[in-house]
Each structure stands twice: as structure tokens, then as C-alpha cells.
Amino acid sequence: MHIDMNAFFASVEQQCNPALRNKPIAVIGSNKRTVITTSSYQARAFGVKTGMTVGEAKKCCPYLILVTGNNAKYTDICVRITSIFKHYTPLVEVFSIDEAFLDITGSLKLFQSPGRIAILIKKEVKDKLGLTCSIGIAPNKLLAKLASNLKKPDGLVEIKLGEIPSLLENLPAKELCGIGPHLERYLAEMGIRTCGELGRTSVSFLKKRFGIIGEYLHLMGQGVDDSPVIPLEEESPPKSIGHSMTLPSDISQRNIMEKHLLKLAEMVGRRLRRHHLQGRTVALTIRYSDFTTFTRQLTLKHPIDHSQDIYQNGLRILSAIRLRQAVRLLGVNISNLISRTVQLPLFEEEQKRILITRSMDDINDRYGEFTLTWGSLLFPFRHHGVISPAWRPEGARKVEYGS
């Protein structure tokens, strides 16, 4: 079963504010430079789409009402929605902030049919949270996600085994999850436009062109997918921890960039330490004002988790880059992760550093992020940011957003 919350952020805002119900609204970020995060179905009828600038959206829909998003609200509601799903099966995979897969195989005896489970879930989500969702039921995840997409909003579509070939025969290949615009274009150049054509194309031909994923593409074209639903507790640990931010304005001055870098290093360091992780590879991502984006990284001899170490290494990378333009976005990422090794520090300087970090962490744990911070970060900072697709309700992938 795949469940997709309909126009999630916009629907939540319409529930919060009765004056917004049945009106064209769009949720935007809190930064000065922001794009449409999502829009209500009333706004979508005018052509307002996710990713549009505010100017573009207003051109489509002059009466569009803009609402600044509240990530703390949406993440809390996602946690509550997930707990509703767990009333019906323990096998819930949170795919993104507004989508989940459920394996209901083991629940059918208790609830009689997949359709009944879907209706009960829809009712409970609507009654408790006032939100609608589209549900797809199918023999596997690939088809369940396809099914939920077939009717929006408030849809319920079941694909039975016998219906798969006729459904996929003329369905555009881009409708399958995992086939994006680039892959769609490559396939079209090979004369493959539909799922039927993809499923009939030989594995060896697809492997020659796409490597190992060629075999998966062939199976996808036939509606075959044996990937299991992976609940949170069974997810593999993150391979990296990072944060990025779009700067309030394009910046050329290195000293200002360094302040933002320190902020990001502190955020990454905090998450590493909270989850007892360290990493050896520090990566710095830079996006210029013309959207050219690149990443430079260095791998250290010893793993780190201290914010100042992350910052200093970020600075090393930054100082080696000759910036061609003003910078729009900065990102810091630590990978090559291991569980933190506890080593008693030899030198007094290092012992002091560890104690100070521990004290800062304790205070920020108690009173909130950046309650106590570095002197050079003169202004208070709350992470509003964008909810990453990797966000999860628990664990190292959970980020607490400021309200």
C-alpha cells in the first residue's frame, strides 16, 4: 500500500486557517529568496506548481495567497500520521514527509481486505487531522505508488495481478517511480516510451546502455518489484550527515561566508554528537548565483565530530577555491561515518575542548539550538530550512525544525 498525503503542507495550512479553505494558496519558505514549496488543489487548477518562483506563481494565479511554511508543524503531523498507519501494520516505511509504504500482508486476517484497511486509514486521518490522502494498493511498492498517483485527491485505487499487463502496456514509462526526465529522454532516444515497450526490451540491451540498472528497468517495465517495505527500525544507518542553506543574498565576502560555514559546522557537529557518530570526509558544497553547483571534499586521517574541527576543515576547502561568482548556497557534509570511539584525551587543551563542547551541548539540549553558541555568530539562528527528502520521524535523519 502506498499513501500519499494530498497537497500536504497546503492542506495543513487550510485546516489551521478556515479563511484559506477552498482558496488558491501556496506555501513558501521563510527565506527572502524562496520558491513555491507546494500549492493547494485550487491553486494547481491555475497552473501553480512546486518549484515556481513567487513571481511565476502570481502570474498564473493573481489571487494566490502565500503562506509561510512551518516545518515544525509539518514534521509533527507526519509523526502523528505515521502512528495512525501503525494501528494497521508495524511495517511502515516513511518514504518522505508526505508519503509512506505499508506492508499489510500480515494484517489482512484482522482487517479482512486491503480496501477496508485503506478506507479505515482514510477515515482516521480525516477525522483526527482533517487531511485527505490518495491510497494505492498493489502486489508491490512500484505498482502501489503508481496506483496512488492515478487518482488525486482523496483517491483509492487497487491494481490486481491480472490487471498489470493491460495497465502498463500504453502507460508512459515516466510514470514509474525512478524514471525521471533524464532517463525518460534516454529511453525515448532508444524508441522506448511506454512501460510495455520497456518490459519487452531485452535485459542485455538495457544493461549495455545503462549498466546494472538495466535489469531493474526491464523488470519495472513489467511491473515487477520485489523490494520490501523497510520500517524505520530496520533502515540502514545514514552514510552522511549534512546541512545546507540558501543564503539570504548572494555573497562574495569570505568573512560572511565563514560565519555561515560556522553555523553549518555547528549544526552538523551537533547531529553527529547526538547520534554518537564521527566522520572522516568533510565536503563543502557551493552554489553560485547562476546555480552552478559543485562539491569539494577532503578525507582526514582521523574521524571528527567537533564543530570547530568541521569548521576548520571546511575553511581549508574554501580557501583552496577561487570563487568565480557570488555564492548563493553553502552546504557542509560529513561522510565515511563510524560510531564514536571514546578515547581519553592526553593533553589538557584537548580535555578542555571536550568539556566545553559537552557543556555547550548540554545547554543547547536543555534550552534549544544555538542558545549558547560561538561569539562570531552574533545573531540567533533557528533552522527553518527545507525538509530534506531523507528526513525521518526518528533517528539520525530526524531534524528538529524551529517553529
Partner 1 sequence: MTIGQPIKVGAVFGGSKKIRPVWFIWEDREHHIKEITYTWGSREGRSFLYHFTVTDRADNLYELCYRTDSATWHLLILEEGT
Does 237 sit near partner 1 (CB under 8 A)?
no
Eight-class DSSP state of 228: P
Q: What's the angle, vertex CA 380, arms to CA 374 and CA 386, rounded to 5?
A: 110
Q: Which of 90, 127, 130 is nearest to 5 (CA)?
A: 130
**Residue (of 142, 177, 135) closest to 5 by Cα position:** 135
- Give the distance, in angstroms, between the CA of residue 256 and the centroid of all CA atoms in the same chain: 28
Binding mask 383-402 for partner 1 (x = CB under 8 A): -----------------xxx
Query: In Å, what is the CA distance from 402 to each residue of 70, 359, 385?
Result: 8, 22, 9
The interface region with partner 1, picked from 11-19, 186-194, 267-275, 373-381 by CB under 8 A, is 11-19
Residue 367 CB, nearest approach to partner 1 (Å): 4
Greatest extent of the chain over all pairs of C-alpha atoms, in Å: 72
- Exposed, middle or buried, 173 (CB in 10 Å: 0-12/13-18/19+)? buried
Residue 20 vs 245, nearer CB to partner 1: 20
Cβ–Cβ under 8 Å, residues 337 and 241: yes
Residue 327: how many other CB atoms lie within 10 Å:
22
Question: Site map for partner 1, 162-201, x if CB under 8 A?
Answer: ----------------------------------------
Minimal distance, residue 361 CB to partner 1, in Å: 11
The reply to whether 379 sits near partner 1 by the rule CB under 8 A is no
Are 382 and 402 in contact by the 8 Å Cβ rule? The answer is yes
Q: Which stretch binds partner 1 (CB under 8 A): 71-79, 191-199, 209-217, 230-238?
A: 71-79
Verify whether residue 13 is a known catalytic residue. no
Interaction between residue 209 and partner 1 (CB under 8 A) = no
Tell me the DSSP string of 151-191: STTT-EEE--GGGHHHHHHTSBGGGSTT--HHHHHHHHHTT
Q: Which residues contact 185 (CB under 8 A, 6 or more apart)?
A: none
Find the shortest distance in angstroms from Cβ 240 to partner 1: 24
> Taking CB under 8 A as the rule, does residue 64 contact partner 1?
no
The residue from 1, 5, 10, 12 that contacts partner 1 (CB under 8 A) is 12
Please say which residue, 291 or 379, places its beta carbon nearer to partner 1: 379
By CB under 8 A, tell whether 228 contacts partner 1: no
Q: Which of 99, 124, 234, 348 is catalytic?
A: 99
Count of residues making up the chain? 403
Residue 62: is the preceding peptide bond cis (ω within 30°)?
A: no
72 or 300, CB closer to partner 1?
A: 72
| 53/403 with CB nearer partner 1 | 403
Hey, how many other C-beta atoms are within 10 angstroms of the C-beta on 86? 13
State whether residue 324 is helix, strand or coil.
coil
Q: Which is nearer to partner 1, 133 or 173 (CB)?
A: 133
Convert residues 91-130 into a mask of x (bound to partner 1 by CB under 8 A) and - (unbound). Answer: ---------------------------------------x
Stretch that binds partner 1, among 14-22, 51-59, 190-198, 225-233 (CB under 8 A): 14-22
Contact with partner 1 (CB under 8 A) among 56, 76, 158, 197: 76
How many residues bind partner 1, per CB under 8 A? Answer: 22
| Residue 371 interacts with partner 1 (CB under 8 A): yes or no | yes
Burial class (CB in 10 A: 0-12, 13-18, 19+), 381: middle
| Closest distance of CB 119 from partner 1, Å | 24
Q: How would you classify the pairing of strands 133-137 and 2-5? A: antiparallel
Judged by CB under 8 A, the chain residues 329 through 368 that form the site for partner 1 are 364-368
Which residues form the catalytic set?
99
**Residues of the shown chain interacting with partner 1 in the complex, contacts defined by CB under 8 A:** 12, 15-19, 72-73, 76-77, 130, 364-369, 371, 400-403
